[in-house]
Amino acid sequence: MNTYEYRKLKNTLASGLALACVILALIPLIYILAEVVMKGAPAMSWEFLTRRTTGTGEPGEGIGNAIFGTLLLVFYAALIGLPIGILTGIYVSEYGNNKLGTIVRFFNDVLANFPSIVVGLLAYALVVAYLNVGFSLIAGSVALAIIMIPIVANTTEEALRMVPNSLREGALALGVPRWRTVLKVMLANGRAGIVTGALLAVARVSGETAPLLLTAFYSSYWSLSPTEPIASLPLTIFRNFNSPSEVLLQQAWGAALVLILLVLTLNIGVRLLMKSKAKKSKAVKMKWMTRLSRKA
C-alpha cells in the first residue's frame, strides 16, 4: 500500500467514524421526538390549546393558560436578559482587555455553569423574599433572565471576535468613532452569531422548571399581573406527570409536544428571517459594486 492509498484509507475511516458519531448523537434526539409526538399528538385539539387547566383531571381541560404564561415569562425574561447579555458581550469583546474584563469574563463562565435550582433560590431570596414581591410573573422572569445573561454574553463575545479585525481597523483608520465602529461594523457583521446566542438562551429557559417552582409558582387561572403567580408549560408538565390521573398524564405529553413545537417554530422562523436578510444584504452589495465598476 502506497502513501496515497494509506492516506485515502485513513480519510475514509475518519469520515465513517464521524458519521457514526453523528448517528449516535441523533438516535436519542429522534427517539425523544418520536415518543413525545406519539404520546402527545392524541391530546391535541383546539379546546386543549385554548382552555385553561384546573388540575382536576376532568375531560375538557386544556393548557391555554400555561402556553400564555410561558410566552409571557420568556418575553419578560428576554426584555431583561438580552440587553444586559449583549452589552456585557460587547464590553468584554471590545473594551475588556483589562482586569475588569477578565473578572467579568470569569463570572460569566461561573454563572453559566450554575445549577438552575441555585438561580431559582437567588431569585427567590432577592425578589420574592427581600423585595416582598411574592410568587409572581416578574420573579419568574428575573430567574430566567439570570440564566439567559451569561449564555448571551458569551455567544455575543465569540460572535464579535469572529469578525475580521481588518474591518475594525479599516473603520477606525477612516476616523469613525469607536462606538460607531462597534455599532455599525462589528454588530452588523456579527449579528448572525448574536441572534443564534439569543435563540439558544430562549430555548434554554423555555423548558426550565426548577427556577419557576421557587419564583412563579403556579396558577390555574389566566393572569396578566406581573405580581401574581402564573402558569407555565414546564410546571404543567411537572405537575401532571406526578398525578395518578391518566387524563393529566395525557395532558403532560401534549404540553411537552407544544413546548417542543414552540421552540422549533421560533428557531426555524428566525433562521429563515436571517437567511432572507443575508440575501438582501448581498444583493445590495452586488448592486453597489456594479454601479461603482460602471463609474470606474
Lowest mean pLDDT among 56-65, 81-90, 185-194, 242-251: 56-65
pLDDT higher than threshold 70 for residue 76 = yes
Helices (H) and strands (E) counted in the chain, each on its own, are: 12, 0
CA angle 69, 114, 76 (to 5 degrees): 25
- Of 44, 31, 53, 65, the residue nearest 258 (C-alpha): 44
Kindly tell me if the per-residue pLDDT of 12 is higher than 50. Answer: yes
Q: pLDDT band at 57, cuts 50/70/90?
A: low
Three-state SS for 217?
coil
Q: What is the DSSP letter of 243?
A: S
Distances (CA, A) of 219 to 180, 209, 253: 46, 14, 19
Within 13 Å of residue 199, how many CA atoms lie on the same side as its CB?
A: 18
Quick one: cell of 269? Answer: 422562523
pLDDT exceeds 90 at position 84: yes
Average pLDDT over residues 223-245: 86
Is the torsion defined by CA of 231, 233, 238, 240 positive or negative? positive
Summarize pLDDT for 242-251 with one digit per residue, the tens. Answer: 777 888 888 8
Its CATH architecture, for the domain 64-263, is: Orthogonal Bundle (1.10)
Q: Strands, E, within 34-180: which ranges?
A: none
pLDDT tens profile 152-174: 999 998 888 888 888 878 888 87
What pLDDT, in 10s, does the model give residues 256-266?
A: 999 998 888 88
Average predicted confidence (pLDDT) for the chain: 84
pLDDT tens profile 28-40:
989 988 999 998 8
Q: Rounded to an integer, what distance in angstroms lies between the CA atom of residue 62 and that of residue 52? A: 5
Rounded CA separation 20/216 (Å)? 43
**Mean of the pLDDT values across residues 118-142?**
91
Which range (103-107, 127-131, 264-268) has the least confidence? 264-268
CA neighbor of 39 nearest in space, from 266, 228, 249: 249
247 contacts 63 by C-beta, under 8 angstroms: no
pLDDT for the residue numbered 258:
92
Count CB-CB contacts under 10 A for residue 255.
29
- Which of 59-63, 140-144, 195-199, 202-206 shows the lowest per-residue confidence on average (mean pLDDT)? 59-63
Cell numbers for 187:
454588530
**What is the pLDDT confidence band of residue 296, given thresholds at 50, 70 and 90?**
very low
Report the pLDDT averaged over residues 208-216.
Answer: 90
Q: Is residue 257 within 8 Å of residue 250, measured between CB atoms?
A: no
What does each C-alpha distance from 16 to 7, 22, 49, 275 come to in angstroms?
Answer: 14, 10, 44, 31
- DSSP notation for 38-68: HHHGGG--HHHHHSPP-SS--TT---HHHHH
